[in-house]
Amino acid sequence: MTGKNPPGRPHQAGRPADGSMTRAASGPGTADPDSPPRAVPVAFYGWTACAAGTGDSRADRHRQLALCHAVAAARGWQVTAEFFDEDCRAGYPWRRRPQGRALLAALSGPGRVAGAVAVANPWCLLPRRPVPGGTDILARLESRQVRLVLAGTGMVISSAEEYALLGRLLTGPPCGAPHSGSASRLSVRDHRARGSLPRQPAAGLPRRPGEPR
């Protein structure tokens, strides 16, 4: 990292209802991997390309946060910490996301704020058009033994195998592999049918930004 400030300004989002700019759980947020589902605190992460402090930015945050709250609540979990990067373009890598870096720091150590991270969709975590090997944020979450909630599909990623499979699905086939046809990219539903992923309320992954239907 250089000494130059990244675009945008750090912003740890709070619930729109109380107008607070920062909201986090009181007390330790560490989740025991063997604890019952209701005991899992969740950290929300989102981003917007809109300028900081604008109505569009607030609308994006509210939409993503509401989706994550709903999915967490459906599992008996609770969003206890919120991180939201404003003025953040889709192509920005993790090192250019101040609140993303703050989230990773908050997930480290015995006093981490949450046992799961909720995002509206996996593209909230990755730059546009990630390449194979360019999904290191998934490895960072897996190494911290954090569950990843993809609110748009209701899917929860938890094991090292599931994180690795998600990375392969998001980056597509390795160099030299065909880019079309059924063999080029197996859907999450295919992998679930083969027992690679646990069943969740919804199947499939959202398309990349700008990817044709």
* Residue 208 lies inside a defined structural domain of this protein: no
**What is the model's pLDDT at position 189?**
43
How would you write the chain as a 3-class SS string?
CCCCCCCCCCCCCCCCCCCCCCCCCCCCCCCCCCCCHHHCEEEEEEECCCCCCCHHHHHHHHHHHHHHHHHHHHCCCEEEEEEEECCCCCCCCHHHCHHHHHHHHHCCCCCCCCCEEEECCHHHCCCCCCCCCCCHHHHHHHHCCCEEEECCCCEEECCHHHHHHHHHHHHCCCCCCCCCCCCCCCCHHHHHHCCCCCCCCCCCCCCCCCCCC
* Residue 202 lies inside a defined structural domain of this protein: no
Q: Looking at per-residue confidence, does 135 or 33 come out higher?
A: 135
* Residue 100 lies inside a defined structural domain of this protein: yes
* Residue 5 lies inside a defined structural domain of this protein: no
Residue 30 has pLDDT above 80, yes or no: no
**What is the model's pLDDT at position 90?**
87
Domain with 104, as residue range(s), is 37-193
**What is the model's pLDDT at position 66?**
97
Residue 119 has pLDDT above 70, yes or no: yes
Q: Looking at per-residue confidence, does 197 or 59 come out higher?
A: 59
Span 173-199, pLDDT tens digits: 554 443 333 333 334 444 444 444 444
